[in-house]
Amino acid sequence: MTTGVSNLETSIDLANVWLKDIMDQLKWESKNSAYKALRGTLHALRDRLQVVEAVQLASQLPLLIKGVYYDGWTPLGKPEKFKKDEFARRVHEQFQFDPDLNPEEVIRAVLRVMYRHMGEGELGDVRNNMPADIQEWFPEEIMPKQ
């Protein structure tokens, strides 16, 4: 079944590529789990960013993923000033705190996929707007040069 709208079809295709890349990174079989990983990581990033930076990140996302990103968002009271443990907890919550899941591994995988598809520019800005402990999860390719 298709929508018959080329922009929507392209966005669905791109979302599927992102989900498959997350599945490959984590050696998962479940596209639903990959979706939870993407959603949880995007929402934690979004809520930790200044509103302007959150909107700039969204502008770089494919249409369908942009909808996931904005789902349930309210800019009031942002950014939320949480650290690494709370970030990981928010992602882990997507999986009902499954004890077999390592949320840090999930976050790193999603950030690698974002880097692969978005490049260093906006993701580097996002990284620079995070506390140092959260910056450690970003791909080393976007770490400041020593």
Could you state, in order of their start, the residue ranges of all structural domains in the chain? 6-142
pLDDT for the residue 43:
98
pLDDT above 80 for 48: yes
Closest CA to 58 of 16, 114, 7: 114
Rg, Å, the chain Cα set: 15
pTM: 0.93
User: Between 143 and 115, whose confidence is greater?
Assistant: 115
pLDDT above 90 for 94: yes
pLDDT for the residue 141:
79
DSSP for 42-77, please give it: HHHHHHHS-HHHHHHHHHTS-HHHHHHHHTT---TT
pLDDT for the residue 7:
83
pLDDT above 60 for 8: yes
Domain 6-142 has CATH 1.10.490.110: yes
CA distance 95 to 62: 24
User: What rounded mean pLDDT belongs to the chain?
Assistant: 93
pLDDT above 70 for 118: yes
pLDDT for the residue 144:
59
Mean pLDDT, rounded, for 42-53: 97
pLDDT above 70 for 112: yes
Question: DSSP label at 1?
Answer: -
pLDDT above 60 for 65: yes
Burial of 31 (0-12, 13-18, 19+ CB in 10 A): middle
